Structure 1
């Protein structure tokens, strides 16, 4: 797998995903629910990459994805389609910024138990459009390099590590983190549209470079 897709792990956890991880560290059972959330994220990424790799393997048996340098290859066309979709998401987020609000289920995470935290991590990765697009990109990259899912281990590990940052901060800087996390959570909730746009821009740059 090309190291070019490794930074996409940042996009995987950007937006509501990292907000969920932060919120879980402010609950009464922060460590337990955060670990359950991370397990859900891990399993979901492995499942997602496996599915997308298999899809592109089927596609590759009938249609060549082409070389990275071939602008007319199927792989490049898929990348251009992803960029177009991201631009549309940016325009939507900017147009609705005045009424933008975080999802209601984020508030419910304040009382989440480990089971709910696991389900949140698992389902979120598999249904978030940005995460689906990232995993499609990883799957296409694996097919282009004739690599198996195991070659995406660094990407999977990076995604889980980023998801674990709020928990690691809590464990390393417990008192300071306990004071800072609620403020970070509140800022991200009130500026969710900014977070989404930044993530989309990062994703576009990574795809086109």
Structure 2
């Protein structure tokens, strides 16, 4: 059966939305979010701790994105919902404001050198502590909750299915699991290289995050201005 032109165009638009939100996974892991799994990967109970951290992150990210999508879809996702096209424009406006906040927050925290107090507990962490940390960091850290809400509302405004958030969530989790996977594969060589990676991420991740946020702001502005 030959697909109609409108169906193909719809699929292309949906695919573009999916590709556009994937880079925001970088914003999600920048900062203590990626530093924590690096420490956990070299902790006493590294397998259980790292797995618990990623599982906690998966739960909180999915929860925030899902709630944001449901609220956005009920207001005006894809031009439908309670407010119709007006709601759709409001959603784009909300994403724009959220991303501006994330950009400012990332810039202000760029030179924060004092590590959080909880970071000193990571070498002797328990799976329960690691799960809580992953849930709270990836779900409720200021830039992370803003990014997750932006993804959910952006998909709702475009009329895309919630399943398109899966790529964003999975890519974020894959990056968070990279220290664990590297220790599995490389062993002691990974343990020696992880501190160097940790220091580089601590010094430069904010620049990458800002670049991704600015790119997404431009995309949202294009949608907002028609």
Contact 1:38 1:160 in 2 (8 A): yes
For structure 2, the residue ranges without an aligned partner over 5 or more in a row are 1-13, 220-226
Contact 1:86 1:204 in 2 (8 A): no
Structure 1 residue 55, shift from structure 2 partner: 1.8
My pick for the range that moved more, 43-52 or 58-67, is 58-67
The structure 2 residue matched to 1:177, chosen from 168, 172, 190, is: 190
Structure 1 residue 90, shift from structure 2 partner: 4.4
Deviation digits for residues 52-74 of structure 1, max 9, x if unmatched?
11221232233346699xxxx22
Cα separation, partners in 2 of 1:65 and 1:127, compared to 1, 3 Å: farther
Deviation digits for residues 124-169 of structure 1, max 9, x if unmatched?
1121111112111211122123334333221221111111111111
SS at match of 1:26: coil
Equivalenced residues, count: 199
Cα separation, partners in 2 of 1:134 and 1:91, compared to 1, 3 Å: closer
Q: Which residue of 2 aligns with 1:82?
A: 98
Q: Which residue of 2 aligns with 1:205?
A: 215
Contact 1:64 1:74 in 2 (8 A): no
Of structures 1 and 2, the one scoring higher in RCO (CA 8 A, sep 6+) is 1
1:63 maps onto 2:83 in alignment: yes
The structure 2 residue matched to 1:31, chosen from 47, 57, 77, is: 47
The structure 1 residue matched to 2:62, chosen from 23, 27, 46, is: 46
Q: Which residue of 2 aligns with 1:111?
A: 124
Q: Scaled by the length of structure 1, what TM-score is found?
A: 0.83
Q: Scaled by the length of structure 2, what TM-score is found?
A: 0.78
**For the aligned residues, what is the CA RMSD?**
2.3
For structure 1, the residue ranges without an aligned partner over 5 or more in a row are none
Structure 1 residue 196, shift from structure 2 partner: 3.0
